[in-house]
Chains A and B, each alone.
Chain A
Amino acid sequence: MKKRVVLLLVLVLVASGVVFAQGQKAASDQMEVAMVLKTLSSEYWQRVVNGAEDAAKELGVKLIKLGPPTEDAVEQQINMVQDALTANPAALVFSPSQPPTAVGVLNNAKAKGIPVILVDTPMEAGFTNYDTFIGTENYDAGVAGAKAMIDALGKSSGTAVVIEGAPGNPTTTTRADGAEDTLRKAGYTIVARQPGFSDRNTAYNVMQNVLQANKSVDIVFCSNDEMALGALQALQQANVKALVLGTDGNKTALESILEDGLFGTAAQKPEMMGYLGVVNAVKAANGEKIDIRIDSGVDIITKANAQAALDALQ
């Protein structure tokens, strides 16, 4: 008997939920932009969110932001896109963790007439009718980072190490390509190019192993700041002096530069990506034409301008 009462109560609750829901539907007519990122749980992606929120505030749109707890929760990210699309947002701002897995949901979005704005990481073949891709020219970031170190050393030969992200991650791989090509052209020998999985500890181990085989290294390029800090730690413990440059321009990297740790970082502009993402999402939703490729830019930050960059972050 008691159980039936409880069940009945639940049913009433559900029913009232539906009624309430119907009532709410008409309430808001504010434009809604959905943003699904690789994760929200890291400094870098939080900076993308900050830029996006600034744009949303300026333009008076509602921003829905989602992202799995870690970048490797790929299926969960796809689920989040599906969930976001049920709201029929005016546009979708998206950064794919594993581009091939997102083709289906993005095609669904386009079929529903929802513009797709890609940030940070482009889609590969299979989904080409996105509205724009906003991001760093990753190859250029690698080139610029490597050049800065070569210029600082002033040598036309030497040894270099390149540590990239997870194999298959197009962003970190392309950066490493840019750096490797530049270093080779300048006459440097690449004694090792290995994956550090975008992780500080993994890069630390990689660098330690590299130092077993090579007593001295001149230049270390890393595809993100976390790995650069890991590599730096291994170098310092082995008492090897080398220029280490990361990519991203995160706060911890800037602090390390100021303390004479890292030589520099090829700073992406994540705030700019988030900001431009939302701005162009709104434009696309309003039917305005936008460029298919928007460069969010790179800053090479060394000791000379690290303080300014750090101040800008805070």
Chain B
Amino acid sequence: MDKKQDDLTQPTIVEDVSVEEMKEQETKLKRRGSLGIILSLFVLSAIIAILSPRFLTVSNLTNVLSQATVSAVISVGEFLAILTAGIDLSIGSILAISIMMLGIFAKNMAMNPLLAILLALAVGTLIGFFNGILLTKLRLPHPFISTMGTKMIGRGLALAVTAARPISGFANSITFLGGSSVGPIPASIILVAIVYAVMFVFMKHTATGRHIYAVGGNVEASRLSGINVHKVLLIVYSLSGFFAALAGLLLVGRVNAAYPLAGTDYETDAIAAVIIGGASFAGGVGKILNTIIGVLIIAVLRNGLNLLNVDSAYQTVAIGVVIILAVYLDVVRQKSSSVH
């Protein structure tokens, strides 16, 4: 809280005006964005419900939600990276190496389950931190390149640690997050709700959260106003790695196995969810809660097309179309708001 006040005293007058202006425009953008995307989810659900009698059943809706949980958690990290005008291509691989290490810790080394989970989360966070170091200390030009490198390293290591063999048969103490239910509600859904609630508060009500927006909006201005940009980026990429590992924990619970090909292409889905959720690739604009709607749109689309027995090749086409539409809507929105 002290920090927050420090920051408030620092900006110059010029920046004050532009920040105010930006904020006003941003809130306008965000409101429209939220409504549009929630509406899209409703319309999509409505269309699928009309076409398939099975969509709107309690069991299927629980199904869709629990299918979306892995993607929901991993997308939080991608959201943060994109918010800083960056990207994290390594999250799918971080997920894989984290869960393979979880398997090694918990099964092969028979560690205490809680310790194994914490260590696996630490593995993910460390690799994320490594991404941050590449970006800030080694000054690699863009995280697209550095995280692509990490992606390959991570995937290779995930295959190497067990010679590509999956590890299965975990104890309940490992799988409870992804595999158990609290009453009728899967624990994974509760975890996602907690993650998003915490991140919502973090982004909105902490200095670090606002700094992430600021760095994404304008790096130079952030630096001049006294924000430690390197620290912010290190936090962002570490968090991205952490959430990838956490998503992995959910996945292990869901399928009760750790396999080295896990998380292949998950970064693509995460980027899609973030963009469909209205975040700007240019950084600085985006809302954490819209990301979950983006995740749900993709999950509902996949589930609906499965129920309708549509070839998965066309499912991929459909998701591609949705991404392009979402970005186009964003362009239209920005145009109309800049006219005002």
Residue positions of A touching B, CB distance < 8 A: 3, 6-7, 10-11, 13-14, 16-18, 20-22, 24-25, 39-41, 64-70, 72-76, 78-80, 82-84, 86-87, 98, 100-104, 126, 166-168, 195
Contact = CB atoms under 8 A, between A and B. Distances in A.
B18 interface: no
B52 to A, nearest CB: 7
B261 A98 contact: yes
A104 B165 contact: no
7 contacts: A6-B39, A16-B50, A40-B313, A41-B312, A69-B316, A74-B259, A101-B168
Interface in B129-153: none
A74 B262 contact: yes
A11 B43 CA distance: 9
Nearest to A67: B312
Given A69-B312, A167-B163, A87 B54 contact: yes
Contacts of A20: 50, 53
A75 B306 contact: no
B165 A168 contact: yes
Given A7-B39, A79-B303, A195-B164, 10 more contacts: A11-B42, A13-B47, A18-B56, A21-B55, A21-B56, A72-B261, A79-B302, A100-B167, A103-B257, A168-B165
A80 B306 contact: yes
B163 A86 contact: no
A195 B260 CA distance: 15
B49 A14 contact: yes
A87 B307 contact: yes
A195 B311 CA distance: 30
Interface of B: 35, 39, 42-43, 45-47, 49-50, 52-57, 59-60, 63, 67, 70, 159, 163-169, 179, 251, 254-257, 259-262, 264-265, 302-303, 306-307, 309, 311-313, 315-316
Nearest to A97: B261
B49 A78 contact: no
A101 B165 contact: no
Contacts of A86: 54, 57, 59-60, 63, 307
Contact of B257 (A22, A69, A98): A98
A36 to B, nearest CB: 9
B163 A168 contact: yes
A65 B257 CA distance: 25
A14 B264 contact: no
B265 to A, nearest CB: 7
Contacts of A14: 42, 45-46, 49, 56
A17 B60 contact: no
A226 B117 CA distance: 40
Nearest to B53: A21
A21 B49 contact: yes
Nearest to A83: B306
A126 B170 CA distance: 11
B257 A75 contact: no
B255 A78 contact: yes
B50 A78 contact: no
Contacts of A70: 264
Nearest to B66: A82
A17 B50 contact: yes
B53 A76 contact: no
Closest 6 CB pairs of A and B: A100-B168, A17-B49, A167-B164, A21-B53, A101-B255, A100-B257
A100 B166 contact: yes
A80 B308 CA distance: 11
B246 to A, nearest CB: 15
Contacts of A66: 306, 309, 312
Contacts of B46: 10, 13-14, 17
